[in-house]
Structure 1
Amino acid sequence: MTTSHMNGHITEDSDIEVKNVHLASPEEPQKHREMGVDCPGDLGSRMMPMRRSAQLERIRQQQEDIRRRREEEGKKQELDLTASMRLKKLAQIPPKTGIDNPIFDTEEGIVLESPHYTVKTLEVEELLTSIKHIQHILVDPQSQEDISLILQLVQNTDFQNAFKIHNAVTVHMNKASPPYPLISNAQELAQEVQSVLKPSHHKDGQELNALLNAPHVQALLLAHDKVAEQEMQPDLVTDEKIYENVGVYGGETVKIVRIEKARDIPLADMHGTLTFVLIPSQQSKPPPAKETVIHVKAHFDYDPSDDPYVPCRELGLSFQKGDILHVISQEDPNWWQAYRDGDEDNQPLAGLIPGKSFQQQREAMKQTIEEDKEPEKSGKLWCAKKNKKKRKKVLYNANKNDDYDNEEILTYEEMSLYHQPANRKRPIVLIGPQNCGQNELRQRLMNNEVDRFASAVPHTTRSRRETEAAGRDYHFISRQAFESDIAAGKFIEYGEFEKNLYGTSIDSVRQVINSGKICLLNLHTQSLKTLRNSDLKPYIIFVAPPSQERLRALLAKEGKNPKPEELREIIEKTREMEQNNGHYFDTAIVNSDLDKAYQELLRLINKLDTEPQWVPSTWLR
């Protein structure tokens, strides 16, 4: 190797010692040195001889150390930068974790909603294989005993079901969720970038500025910010919000319940997102007791389309006063499930009807509101009734509480089917306003079928006349005995006329029934309550008038010429009787023609012998 000295340059020709190295003297100006390799600064200051190969090896070692230090510093800076960016990203993400936005650990750190992340789950068979493998390796008695216990646990059915549920829930909770917005001010950041790029003359900067200024990009950023504001807005939780996901895993129905709980809701010291996994109990429940179907008679009209409180108007069941309803469920006290009698085949689903207590509460509130609006209405009507012209015929009183109890709110009455025995006919009661034909219908039945129908012999305190027979025309008793029977509740109705007492007793009706005949009664509405509370099981028929014009024509045939106000009074009395006593009526006949009304009355009476009828359940207890 030869070394030549040319203007401070050293060239390497062969492997020889460097002997003549020209060094600049202090008086000479320092010249720039260029060397073939990066030599240390003190190379030229050393005068000791050195082999060229050792010198180059030392130089290469120093370069390698420098490179290694630079790589380590670069990696450290990169790790610091990565950690800083990760922490910044974590700080920007709200604590929205759980089933929908999982954050989980991996071997390399925290992974945030990675769409490529796959949760590895261990199957029961793999677990059993691993345990059996360990059993062959660990042969000491203690290990064998422990592994046997573990095998018994793993082979248990409950454990395997729980293990499968754990795997399914783990996979479900670690599913990737939709991306969550990091910022909500993308427009503002774009404007800052534009202000920075505006004075730039660089081509790329101008292109980016034009792109950010494009209308469609600005619209995109605006939409992004609007959506991000809604997504990043904190939930105002005043009540518990429950989100449910139901799935079937391993033959078991599992319910995952996620609750967003505010701090002001008492539930121990927990708050934020609470997640519960509900697993069906393995304990078998006893079958629910079969609910008894009850049959009720409706005492009011109901239309679900006019009811703002019905849970579902499409499922509501409309009915009218007097309809029989088959109630199949009273589980909800406010809304029963029922069918109308006779509609079971045409009505595939049970309908909703108001429960008894719920309807009573609504009617009580309604009456209170109406009374507050018209406080003097009932008083005026009562005064008007008292001022009417006194009729010649006495009005019978059943008891001291002779008026309809307006405080009683009628909703439903439980009913049962009853078939009258052949030797014990139900008494027939005809009810209706005056001049509506009930007396004529009763008399026609008595005259046409003497052996079948009879009337109850009344009681009186007046003296017997020569043409009268005791027990046939009247039961003649003293006033003291009559008043004693009133106190004992033996009379269905009674009254006083020309200082003499008259009345129809329960015993006199029972005598007709025991004779095998049908007892026909014309009673005042005030007597119906007492009659129904007896053991006579009456069949009550309401005889209603036709329209006002038709009623005028019928009365004209009988030689009567009623005034318009008298006709209006009959119609008004009909409405009052239906409203106050309609719940006692078994059926009704409109007397638009006396012959047709008679045939209809006869048909209804004959029907009692061939078909069972709905009667109050209290009659059969």
Structure 2
Amino acid sequence: MTAEVMAADANWDPALSKLVSSLKETETLSSEQEIDFLKTLLESKELNALVNVHSKVAKVGRDDKLAPLLSTSTQVLLEVLEQLSQRCHLSPICKEAFYLLQNPHLQSLLCAHDAIAQKDFYPHLPEIPVEMDEDEETIKIVQLVKSNEPLAGAQSAEPIVGATIKTDEDTGKIIIARIMHGGAADRSGLIHVGDEVIEVNGINVEGKTPGDVLQILQNSEGTITFKLVPSDGKGGQRESKVRVRAHFDYNPENDPYIPCKEAGLAFQRGDILHIVSQDDAYWWQARKESERTARAGLIPSRALQERRVIHERTQRDTTDGDSKKGSCASICTTPPGSPMLNSSSSTSSCRQPKTKKIMYDLAENDDFDREMIATYEEVAKLYPRPGVFRPVVLIGAPGVGRNELKRRLTARDPEKFRSPVPYTTRPIRQGEVPGREYIFISREKMEADVSAGKFIEHGEYKGHLYGTSAESVKSIVNAGCVCILSPHYQAIKALRTVQLKPFMIHIKPPSFDVLKETRTASRAKSTFDETNSRGFTDEEFQDMVKHGERIDFLYGHYFDEEILNDDLATALEKLVNCVQRAENEPLWAPASWVQ
């Protein structure tokens, strides 16, 4: 095969054709035997095929790098499910797609896709090492564009853009203490925890304090240049996927121990937080779930918040300060990072109080619930299942109207909404029908069933036992109906289980004046009078308000919704909307319920 023929063949590699042509120029310099050997080799189909394969692979690796269109398909799936859940009643196609996307095999496939898509399988050549003396340090120069985002602070230090700094206790040098997820330093991928700061905008920071560095940054405009000595540890932060529901209010402006108030994230009880980093034992990084693109902020960790609460209770309950000073007080009044906070002895001295495990009494006997420390609860989206409805639990102060709301909701659609008949050991009264108002059984039988775990909630009132059997609730759910419960508020924790997965609503009383005005106008009869022949007294109205506040204080973090019962008709419509949400929408619930 001649070089001209090779060149004319579009499938033949042009580089090989050029090499064969160039052999003519070497004929006078080389032996005929060598020329023939090279021609045979270059004109072989096998070599040409190998060169073509090499060219195509090299071209793909250089120009057409294969990359997934999306590496977060699982998150897109959840968002699509959330949108479809709101339209299932409009179209059978939407409903079919909604159930199809809940298929575990499809979801597992997308999870596997994301796991692969987030990795880089292309080979990377190592960087060419720079020859240097053994004692010479590696220096990296990083430039960040100064933006309007808040500056983040450091413990006993001042802030830099998107990161926190501090003075190393051993060396006295300025080092990077924390990288704020979503901040400028994090987005650059070039600044890592432990890096030593040498210069900022050409100004040497040796011997300076973090406050001095802050001043340099505040006086800088546009691009900020850092000269850093890399840390020994590897950089790169991966966001965690943990979501939690906050069980308390937090405002960094009122926190004297936060490393930097500007870096803090304020939130309220009930907010869903995405915990992006738990690397620090005392200060987590988080952003609100509703603000997915926002820079992460600092919030107290679960351990730190528990210690604070214990300290506050200790301070409140201590009558003799000198005799009862303990390490708990020292821990919470010492800024994070101090030797006291990091000592191992401090942990054992601040154990969480034990919670009494007793059957609730309808008298004032809920002080033990105050011992529970409400911080954060890990949550996940709980998706509705066709034909299986979550029990709806109405919690409220005695007399606030939760039973009336339950009665009216059931009356709207008796085939859909049903309530289990409670059990009691009290004697039957005139006009009552067994199995309608109550199921009447002996105390011995009920105590035996309670011990056998047959009641999901039970209690004692005026010497008689009351309770709801687990089997009665199960039968309502299995029948495809919505089970409506209105137990005493002390039964909340007994009902809030993975087996029931209840949707809990707090029926709250309005203020005393509104409560008295509305109940008097509607001629409401007192539920505290067994004959039901008189209206509520001022004392009973005051008790309702007090109990509403007590329920909110002790159990407010457990509720999925709150309804103010200032007008019965309005409250009923709100209740219907809440029940529809529980039926049709994916809602946040304890993570253990979803697993």
Letter of the structure 2 residue corresponding to residue 331 of structure 1? D
CA distance in 1, matches of 2:384, 2:376: 23
For residue 338 of structure 1, the aligned residue among 277, 283, 286 is 286
Q: Structure 1 CA distance, aligned partners of 2:316 and 2:289?
A: 33
Match for residue 316 of structure 2 among 355, 358, 370: 370
More deviation, 297-306/493-502: 493-502
Shift of 1:495: 4.0
The one of 565, 568, 580 aligned to 1:591? 565
1:336 and 1:354 in contact (8 A); partners too: yes
SS at match of 1:581: helix
What do residues 147-190 of structure 1 show as CA deviations (whole Å, max 9, x unaligned)? xxxxxxxxxx9886215996999xxxxxxxxxxxxxxxxxxxxx
Residue 555 of structure 2 is aligned to residue 581 of structure 1: yes
Does structure 1 retain, via aligned residues, the 8 Å contact 2:503–2:582? no
Matching of residues 598-613 of structure 1 within 5 Å: 598-613=572-587
The corresponding residue for 1:490 is 454
Once residues 198 and 390 of structure 2 are traced to their aligned partners in structure 1, the CA distance between those partners, rounded to angstroms, is 63
8 Å CA contact 1:427, 1:537 repeated in 2: yes
Aligned to 1:522: 486
CA distance in 1, matches of 2:437, 2:454: 19
Offset of 1:343 from its aligned partner?
Answer: 2.2
Three-state SS of the structure 2 residue aligned to 1:161 is: coil
Q: What is the CA deviation profile of residues 13-67 of structure 1, one whole-angstrom value per residue up to 9, with x for unaligned ones?
A: xxxxxxxxxxxxxxxxxxxxxxxxxxxxxxxxxxxxxxxxxxxxxxxxxxxxxxx
Aligned partner of 1:544 among 502, 508, 516: 508
One-letter code of the match for 2:246?
A: A
Q: Specify the code of the residue in structure 2 equivalent to 1:555.
A: R
Which runs of 5 or more structure 1 residues have no equivalent in the other structure? Answer: 1-156, 170-237, 245-252, 261-276, 376-394
CA distance, structure 1, for counterparts of residue 249 and residue 502 of structure 2: 24
Q: Per-residue deviation at 1:525?
A: 1.2
Q: Identify if the C-alpha distance between structure 1 residues 166 and 593 changes in structure 2 by more than 3 Å, giving closer, same or farther.
A: closer
Letter in 1 for 2:448: S
- Assess, with a 3 A threshold, how the Cα gap between structure 1 residues 366 and 403 changes in structure 2: closer, same or farther: closer
Q: How big is the shift at 1:617?
A: 1.2
Q: Please list, as runs of the form range in 1=range in 2, the aligned pairs for 1:530-569 lying within 5 A after superposition.
A: 530-533=494-497, 535-559=499-523, 562-569=536-543
Alpha-carbon distance in structure 1 between the residues aligned to 2:364 and 2:470: 17
Report the aligned-residue RMSD.
Answer: 3.9
2:263: which partner in 1?
Answer: 315
Q: Equivalent residue for 2:173? A: 242
Q: In 1, Cα distance between the equivalents of 2:504 and 2:364?
A: 22
Instruction: Select the residue among 131, 140, 151 that pairs with 1:161.
Output: 131
Matching residue within 423, 432, 435 for 2:399: 435
Higher-Rg structure is: 1
Secondary structure at the residue paired with 2:286?
strand
Q: CA deviation at 1:568?
A: 2.6
Quote the offset at 1:402 in angstroms: 6.2
Residue 302 of structure 1, aligned match among 246, 250, 256 = 250
Contact persistence 1:546–1:591 (CA under 8 A): yes
Does the 8 A contact of 2:397 with 2:548 survive in 1? yes
Q: 2:516 is matched by which residue type in structure 1?
A: R
SS of the residue 2:493 aligns to: helix
**With structure 2 as the length reference, what TM-score do the two structures score?**
0.52
Cα distance change of structure 1 residues 286 and 401 upon mapping to structure 2, 3 Å threshold: farther
Q: CA deviation at 1:457?
A: 2.1
TM-aligned CA distance change 1:166 to 1:408, over 3 Å: closer
Is the counterpart of residue 449 in structure 1 residue 413 in structure 2?
Answer: yes
- Give distance in 2, aligned partners of 1:454 and 1:576: 29
Q: Structure 2: 5+ residue runs without aligned partners?
A: 1-126, 140-168, 176-194, 200-204, 208-226, 322-358, 525-534
Which shows bigger deviation, 602-611 or 285-294?
A: 285-294
Distance in 2 of aligned mates of 1:449 and 1:168: 75
Tell me the alpha carbon deviations over residues 444-477 of structure 1, each in whole angstroms, 9 at most, x when there is no partner: 1011111110001222446789987766654454
Q: Which has the higher contact order (CA 8 A, sep 6+)?
A: 2
3-state SS of paired residue (1:423): coil
Change (3 A) 1:332 1:457: same
Match for residue 326 of structure 1? 274
Are positions 1:358 and 2:332 aligned together? Answer: no
Distance, in Å, in 1 between the alignment partners of 2:250 and 2:561 is: 19
Letter in 2 for 1:162: M
State the Cα distance separating 1:513 from its structure 2 match: 0.7
Relative distance call for 1:494 and 1:408 in structure 2 (3 A) is closer
Cα pair distance change 1:442/1:407, threshold 3 Å:
same
Is 1:572 aligned to 2:546, yes or no? Answer: yes
Q: Which SS does the other structure have where 1:431 is aligned? A: strand
Which residue of structure 2 lines up, in the alignment, with residue 85 of structure 1? none
Change in CA separation of 1:496 and 1:432 when aligned onto 2, cut-off 3 Å: closer
AA matched with 1:425: F
Aligned residues: 350
The amino acid across from 2:173 in the alignment is I
Give the aligned partner of residue 265 of structure 1.
Answer: none
Alignment of 1:265-276 (within 5 A): none
1:272 is matched with none
Contact 2:392 2:505 in 1 (8 A): yes
Tell me which residue corresponds to 2:110.
none
TM alignment of 1:34-433, pairs within 5 A: 161-162=131-132, 240-242=171-173, 290-345=238-293, 348-372=294-318, 397=361, 404-433=368-397
Q: What is the alpha-carbon distance in structure 2 between the residues aligned to residue 255 and residue 552 of structure 1?
A: 66
Distance 1:538 1:404, change over 3 A: farther
Identity %: 38
Deviations 1:487-544 (A, max 9, x none): 1232233345676543211221111111111111111111111111351011110011
Q: Return the alpha-carbon distance in structure 2 between the equivalents of residues 159 and 278 of structure 1.
A: 18
Q: By how many angstroms is 1:595 displaced?
A: 1.2
CA contact (8 A) 2:198 2:206 kept: no
State whether structure 2 residue 574 is matched by structure 1 residue 614.
Answer: no
Deviation at 1:356, TM superposition (A): 0.5
TM-superposition CA deviations, 1:543-564 (whole Å, max 9, x none): 1112221111111123255444
Match of 2:444 in 1: 480
Deviations 1:376-423 (A, max 9, x none): xxxxxxxxxxxxxxxxxxx96499996543222111111111012122
